């Protein structure tokens, strides 16, 4: 279990694998033989690890820039949508005010027409009454005088 975790840790690390891993007395002779055979292996491993690290850093920077660009595009889209929604909401409010004004004008006209109708009713009834009274006076005048 420990060796698999160690190998996983080594595989995920940018640095080269450690040169000296203690394998007991048997492994010491073998390690010294490997180190003596290639003295620049450690430097080459470090350079390779540095190159991998820089490559990963460049890739991470590219990903960061693309994600920042995507975030800005989403933020701009949300801002544009919210502005349009606000404009539509204000438009609806203006339309509601127009409907309210038109309804009040219509009600006022209906009230004026009702008042005019009542006045006309009074005028007509007065005219009819005076007409009947006038006919009565005319008939009485003719027969009485």
Q: What is the mean pLDDT of each run of 10 residues along the chain (145 residues)?
A: 56 57 55 59 79 89 95 94 90 91 86 72 77 79 72
pLDDT of residue 8: 54
Number of domains forming the structure of the chain: 1
Distance CA(14)–CA(7), nearest Å, equals: 13
What does the block give as tokens for 33?
Answer: 């033989």
In a domain, 24, yes or no: no
Q: Which residues contact residue 97 at a Cβ distance below 8 angstroms, ignoring those fewer than 6 apart?
A: none
In a domain, 134, yes or no: no
pLDDT of residue 22: 52
pLDDT of residue 122: 77
Distance CA(75)–CA(81), nearest Å, equals: 10
In a domain, 73, yes or no: yes
Residue 17: strand, helix, or coil: coil
In a domain, 91, yes or no: yes
Q: Is 22 exposed, middle or buried (0-12, 13-18, 19+ CB in 10 A)?
A: exposed
Q: Which residues contact residue 52 at a Cβ distance below 8 angstroms, ignoring those fewer than 6 apart?
A: 14
CA angle 74, 68, 79 (to 5 degrees): 25
Structural domain boundaries, residue 68: 40-104
In a domain, 50, yes or no: yes
| Burial letters 63-89, b for 16+ CB under 10 A, else e | eeeeeeeeeeeeeeeeeeeeeeeeeee
pLDDT of residue 74: 95
Distance CA(61)–CA(68), nearest Å, equals: 10
pLDDT of residue 69: 96
pLDDT of residue 29: 56
């Amino acid at each position: 279990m420990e060796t698999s975790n160690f190998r996983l840790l080594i595989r995920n690390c940018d640095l080269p694998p450690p040169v000296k891993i203690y394998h007991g007395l048997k492994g010491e002779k073998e390690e010294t033989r490997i180190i003596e055979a290639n003295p620049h292996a450690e430097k080459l491993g470090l350079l390779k690890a540095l190159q991998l690290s820089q490559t990963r850093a460049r890739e991470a920077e590219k990903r960061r820039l693309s994600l920042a660009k995507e975030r800005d595009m989403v933020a701009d889209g949300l801002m544009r949508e919210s502005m349009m929604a606000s404009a539509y909401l204000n438009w609806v409010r203006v339309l509601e005010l127009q409907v309210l004004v038109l309804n009040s004008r219509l009600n006022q006209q209906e009230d004026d027409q009702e008042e005019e109708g009542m006045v006309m009713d009074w005028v007509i009834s007065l005219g009819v009454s005076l007409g009947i009274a006038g006919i009565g006076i005319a008939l009485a005048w003719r027969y009485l005088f």
